[in-house]
Structure 1
Amino acid sequence: MSTPQPPGPSPSAPLPMTPDLNRILPNADRSSLDQLFSLGEYYLKNKQYSDATKVLTLAAKNNHLPAQMALARIYSKGLGTAQSYSNALEWYKRAAESDDPVAEFNVGYFYANGYGIEKDMAKAILWYRLSIRHGFANAQFHLAMALQIDTSDSKALEESFSLMAQAAAAGFPDAQYQLARMYAKGMGCARSSTKALAILKRLPESSKILFLTGYIYFTTPALKKQTEALKLWSRAAAEGDGMSAHNVGHCYQWGLAGLELDYNEAMYWYTRAENMGFKESQIGIYECWYWLEEYDKVYEKLEQALKDGFTSAHAYLGHCFFFGHGVKQDYDQAVLHYVQVPEEYRDVSIHLQLGRCYLEGLGGIERNLDAAYILIQMGTLETYPTSLYYRGYCLENGFGCTKNLEEAIEWYIKGFKAKDKDSQEALLRLGRLHDPTTYVAYHMSIDPGLINDELCFDD
């Protein structure tokens, strides 16, 4: 990332005579400084880094832009000297005083990554904006990515899309891929799988191209290509793409894309993904262990997931303590974990268990029937059998709602049909069931409406 440099001496040419620096520097005219720079470039090509640094420093101190940029690269890469991002940043800033777009971009990049200075995205964005005045595609791309940090800011996403489109039009490959990604997800633009696929088809095949194409196939029902998506993800996983391996595991975990639900096969793919460095697959691993009732393994994995920053692990830790799975049953600990689950990960099972805590005064929560019924309503799902029972239980007794026995019985019947033991016993108690049917033990269920959202997308 540098401005075009004037050609230096040919590597095969004899070492040029060193200019008389004492004569050149007092006047520091452009031609003399160009001589110094050419000599410095010659030294660099011949890996005479110490000499190059000395000569380029002389020119750089006299505001020779190409020399300042070359000197910044020397310190950034540690060529013949200790790597020093702070020294590199100093020279990029000096070069930026000449309104050079590459220098301005590099200053922003150093701020964005905390190279030689404290990380500061606000300052990075300011420097990127200076660089894009010149139409510098690299700055357009990085500014576009920085504007995606807050996905709730629609104006920022629209600007991000515009900048990404400009960088892509300039032929910047990473921008072309990201533009396809934004079309695929509808980030800052109307979602268009057609436009996304058209861009991807023009790019050389790679694991990330296979991954994104698979995602588009999977999440666009009109394409009817979910099976093809699995094939693409499998190919990408073979090339080391962890997100693709994770998505194959996700399909096995939930029986998607025509696959039979298979926790063991899901574990295989999740483990592959984790070994590729995709840590998010820990979530799938502990979920599968939970359904396989390998509770000791679940608890150990959950604690590791929390250490790695996956706050969604609080949900299953809460379940472990609530039901005594792998640990001693402890409602206080269950509630402590449930309330730490981020809002976007609070599914029906968490709402229901918290509703039960309010209903029965568990986990240090004071009994509150109104709050209990609100949460139980939020936790009701027809594919979640135990929620159907508690909905009926509240209606039968008027807990947080108007007492309504007939409506309660309707919920108990739904629960019984879903093979919930408590619903069956409620119907027997109320004399509405005279021929008990063998029920299947209740297992918790996750809201199926959340399943597709758990496919990994961002890279």
Structure 2
Amino acid sequence: MNSQTARKMFSFDIRANHFFRAFLLLAMSLLAGVAFADDFNDGVSAYKSGNYQQALSLFEAGAKKDDPKSTYALGLLYKNGVIVRKDIGRGLNLIMKSANQGFARAQNYLGVTYYDGNEVEQDYKEAFDWYGKAAVQGYPDAEYNLAVMYGLGKGTRQDFSETIKWLRKAAMHQLPEAQYGLGVMYSRGLGVVKNDEQSAYWFSKAARAGYLKAQNKLGILYSEGKGLEKDEKKAFHWFEAAAEKGYAKAQFNLAVMYDKGIGVAKDVSKAIMWYRKAATQGNVAAQKRLKQLHS
């Protein structure tokens, strides 16, 4: 398999840790009972209760004491212009300081920033290095992102064995993207011996965690009887689960089930409804089938 083909097959996305998600995760880890500096602890509480100026003052106080969590939080506020006037340079400097102090979330955030070229010059090697620093600390998003870098050969050599290694670590941390990724690797024999049963196992784990791509894929496996016993009703169930959450491919597959009466009673009106939902999102196959039904 040449490198271009492998990259096309390895179609994962970097897990971005954007501002609000990053900040809420920070707050959630605090509430989970992790011991943080008082300034940061009180700052998060103030932020969550809407006392933004108090939160800002507390984060500033914590940053002056070189608390990496407070420094990171303050950096996010400045970079995104929340509470304070937006100052991308200052925000990035604070996040960089926190990352250099060893704070894994800040390290992963910088990885995403350099990977995307978001307000910095795009640099895959820099992204790879920051993901690596966070991943060795057991930070799940960074473990997954490092796996993606190895799979795509961006910032490092392409190495599917390393991809598998880091996907496993992230999957054991219950990250559904990584569980889905392992399903893909086993289904295609990338870095591991092709194994349909293992593929179905990991797709199932991700699907039950609510990952829409995995729910759609599990529906396909049940409809084909690949890696598990064929069951059209279960296929319908998983297509419906993802379709109702707006996943276009699942909407199309659910429409086909209604259209042909597979796993459910034939219902053309419901088929048309789901074809339309998929077509609205640009699904070409759904658009084509709607034209056929209305011709």
TM-score scaled by structure 2?
0.66
Q: 1:292-334: per-residue Cα shift (whole Å, max 9, x none)?
A: 897xxxxxxxxxxxxxxxxxxxxxxxxxxxxxxxxxxxxxxxx
Q: 1:94 offset after TM fit, Å? A: 0.8
Letter in 2 for 1:183: Y
Work out whether 1:232 is the aligned partner of 2:238. Answer: yes
Work out whether residues 207 and 239 of structure 1, in 8 Å CA contact, stay in contact via their aligned partners in 2: no
- CA-based RMSD of the aligned residues comes to 4.2
Work out whether 1:180 is the aligned partner of 2:183. Answer: yes
Paired position in structure 1 for 2:67? 64
Work out whether 1:214 is the aligned partner of 2:216. Answer: no
Q: 1:408-444: per-residue Cα shift (whole Å, max 9, x none)?
A: xxxxxxxxxxxxxxxxxxxxxxxxxxxxxxxxxxxxx
Q: Is the alpha carbon distance of 1:227 and 1:40 closer, same or farther for their aligned partners in structure 2, counting shifts above 3 Å?
A: closer
Work out whether 1:135 is the aligned partner of 2:138. Answer: yes
Q: 1:242 offset after TM fit, Å? A: 1.4
Q: Is the alpha carbon distance of 1:65 and 1:292 closer, same or farther for their aligned partners in structure 2, counting shifts above 3 Å?
A: closer
Q: Is the alpha carbon distance of 1:267 and 1:86 closer, same or farther for their aligned partners in structure 2, counting shifts above 3 Å?
A: farther
**Which runs of 5 or more residues in structure 2 are unaligned?**
1-24
Paired position in structure 2 for 1:282? 284
Q: 1:131 offset after TM fit, Å? A: 1.7
Q: 1:237 offset after TM fit, Å? A: 1.9
Q: Is the alpha carbon distance of 1:50 and 1:223 closer, same or farther for their aligned partners in structure 2, counting shifts above 3 Å?
A: closer
Paired position in structure 1 for 2:252? 246
Work out whether residues 252 and 275 of structure 2, in 8 Å CA contact, stay in contact via their aligned partners in 1: yes
Paired position in structure 2 for 1:158? 161
1:125 to 113, 123, 128: 128
Paired position in structure 2 for 1:92? 95
Q: 1:250 offset after TM fit, Å? A: 6.5
Distance in 1 between residues matched to 2:127 and 2:37, nearest whole Å: 32
Q: 1:89-136: per-residue Cα shift (whole Å, max 9, x none)?
A: 221101122233222111112223444334444432221122222232
**How does 1:405-420 map onto structure 2 within 5 Å?**
none
Q: Is the alpha carbon distance of 1:283 and 1:205 closer, same or farther for their aligned partners in structure 2, counting shifts above 3 Å?
A: same
Q: 1:270 offset after TM fit, Å? A: 3.6
Q: Is the alpha carbon distance of 1:168 and 1:124 closer, same or farther for their aligned partners in structure 2, counting shifts above 3 Å?
A: same
**How does 1:60-459 map onto structure 2 within 5 Å?**
60-61=63-64, 63-75=66-78, 78-82=81-85, 85-149=88-152, 155-202=158-205, 204=208, 206=210, 208=212, 209-220=214-225, 223=228, 225=230, 227-228=232-233, 229-230=235-236, 232-248=238-254, 269-275=274-280, 277=281, 279=282, 281-286=283-288, 289=291
Distance in 2 between residues matched to 1:257 and 1:221, nearest whole Å: 17
Work out whether residues 37 and 62 of structure 2, in 8 Å CA contact, stay in contact via their aligned partners in 1: no
Q: Which has the higher contact order (CA 8 A, sep 6+)?
A: 2
Letter in 2 for 1:197: A
Identity %: 21
Distance in 2 between residues matched to 1:111 and 1:184, nearest whole Å: 31
Q: 1:71 offset after TM fit, Å? A: 1.0
Q: 1:5-28: per-residue Cα shift (whole Å, max 9, x none)?
A: 5263xxxxxxxxxxxxxxxxxxxx
Q: 1:204-228: per-residue Cα shift (whole Å, max 9, x none)?
A: 3637243121122345557562734
Work out whether residues 154 and 188 of structure 1, in 8 Å CA contact, stay in contact via their aligned partners in 2: no
Work out whether residues 222 and 230 of structure 2, in 8 Å CA contact, stay in contact via their aligned partners in 1: yes
Q: 1:284 offset after TM fit, Å? A: 4.8
Larger radius of gyration: 1
Q: Is the alpha carbon distance of 1:287 and 1:67 closer, same or farther for their aligned partners in structure 2, counting shifts above 3 Å?
A: same
Q: Is the alpha carbon distance of 1:51 and 1:142 closer, same or farther for their aligned partners in structure 2, counting shifts above 3 Å?
A: same
Work out whether residues 267 and 285 of structure 1, in 8 Å CA contact, stay in contact via their aligned partners in 2: no
Distance in 1 between residues matched to 2:227 and 2:112, nearest whole Å: 41
Distance in 1 between residues matched to 2:61 and 2:37, nearest whole Å: 19
Work out whether residues 180 and 202 of structure 2, in 8 Å CA contact, stay in contact via their aligned partners in 1: yes
Q: 1:337-360: per-residue Cα shift (whole Å, max 9, x none)?
A: xxxxxxxxxxxxxxxxxxxxxxxx
Q: 1:35-94: per-residue Cα shift (whole Å, max 9, x none)?
A: x65665565455443344345335425533232122123335644224555443221101
Letter in 1 for 2:127: A
Distance in 2 between residues matched to 1:186 and 1:218, nearest whole Å: 21
Distance in 1 between residues matched to 2:43 and 2:238, nearest whole Å: 49
Letter in 2 for 1:285: Q
Distance in 2 between residues matched to 1:207 and 1:85, nearest whole Å: 33
Work out whether residues 200 and 228 of structure 2, in 8 Å CA contact, stay in contact via their aligned partners in 1: no
Question: Where has structure 1 moved over 6 Å in runs of 4 or more?
Answer: 250-253, 255-259, 263-267, 291-294
Work out whether residues 266 and 288 of structure 1, in 8 Å CA contact, stay in contact via their aligned partners in 2: no
Letter in 2 for 1:282: V
Paired position in structure 1 for 2:36? 6
Work out whether residues 101 and 130 of structure 1, in 8 Å CA contact, stay in contact via their aligned partners in 2: yes
